[in-house]
Amino acid sequence: MTVTTPAPGASPPEPLAIADVPSRADRAFRRVTTGAGLSVLGLLVVIGFFLVYRSVPAFQISGFGFFSTIQFDAASGQLGVLGLIYGTIVVALIAVAFAVPLSILAALFISDYASGRMRGFLTGLVDLLAAIPSLLYGLWGFSFLRPYITPLSEWMTSNLGWFPLFETKPGAVLFNSMFVAGLVVSLMVIPITTSVIREVFTQTPAGEKEAALALGSTRWGMVAAVVLPFGRGGIVGGSMLGLGRALGETIAVSLLLPQVPAVTSHLLEFGGATISGFIANNAGMSGIGLNGLMAAGLVLFVFTLATNFTASVIISRSRSGVGVDA
List of domains in the chain: 26-321 (1.10.3720.10)
Query: What is the DSSP code (8-state) at residue 260?
Result: B
The answer on pLDDT for 323 being more than 50 is no
Query: Does 326 or 125 have the greater pLDDT score?
Result: 125
pLDDT, tens digit (0-9, with 9 covering 90-100), for 174-223: 878 888 889 989 988 898 889 888 888 888 888 888 888 888 888 888 88
Phi and psi at residue 118, to the nearest 5°: -65, -35
Mean pLDDT, residues 64-81: 83
CA–CA gap between residue 291 and residue 200 (Å, rounded): 42
The answer on pLDDT for 325 being more than 60 is no
Which amino acid is residue 154, in one-letter code?
Answer: E
Share of the chain above pLDDT 90, in %: 12
Mean pLDDT, residues 217-240: 85
CA–CA gap between residue 317 and residue 320 (Å, rounded): 9
Q: What is the mean pLDDT of the chain?
A: 83
Query: Nearest 5°: CA angle at 258, between 252 and 263?
Result: 105
Q: What is the pLDDT of residue 305?
A: 86
Q: What is the pLDDT of residue 10?
A: 61
281, 310 contact by CB (below 8 A): no
Phi and psi at residue 78, to the nearest 5°: -95, 105
pLDDT, tens digit (0-9, with 9 covering 90-100), for 237-267: 888 888 888 888 888 888 888 888 888 888 8
Confidence tier at 33 by pLDDT (50, 70, 90): very high
Which amino acid is residue 311, in one-letter code?
Answer: A
Q: What is the DSSP string of 65-85?
A: GGGT----BTTTTB---HHHH
The answer on pLDDT for 102 being more than 90 is yes
Other CB atoms within a 10 A radius of the CB of residue 310 amount to 13
Q: What is the DSSP string of 170-219?
A: TT---SSBHHHHHHHHHHHHHHHHHHHHHHHHTTS-HHHHHHHHHTT--H
Mean pLDDT, residues 74-84: 83
CA–CA gap between residue 161 and residue 154 (Å, rounded): 10
Phi and psi at residue 218, to the nearest 5°: -75, 175
Which amino acid is residue 204, in one-letter code?
Answer: T
Q: What is the pLDDT of residue 321?
A: 52
Q: What is the pLDDT of residue 2?
A: 55
Confidence tier at 326 by pLDDT (50, 70, 90): very low
Other CB atoms within a 10 A radius of the CB of residue 69 amount to 18
Share of the chain above pLDDT 70, in %: 90
Other CB atoms within a 10 A radius of the CB of residue 213 amount to 14
185, 249 contact by CB (below 8 A): yes
CA–CA gap between residue 121 and residue 183 (Å, rounded): 25
Confidence tier at 100 by pLDDT (50, 70, 90): very high
**Of 194, 169, 303, residue with least CA distance to 295:** 303
Query: Does 107 or 77 have the greater pLDDT score?
Result: 107
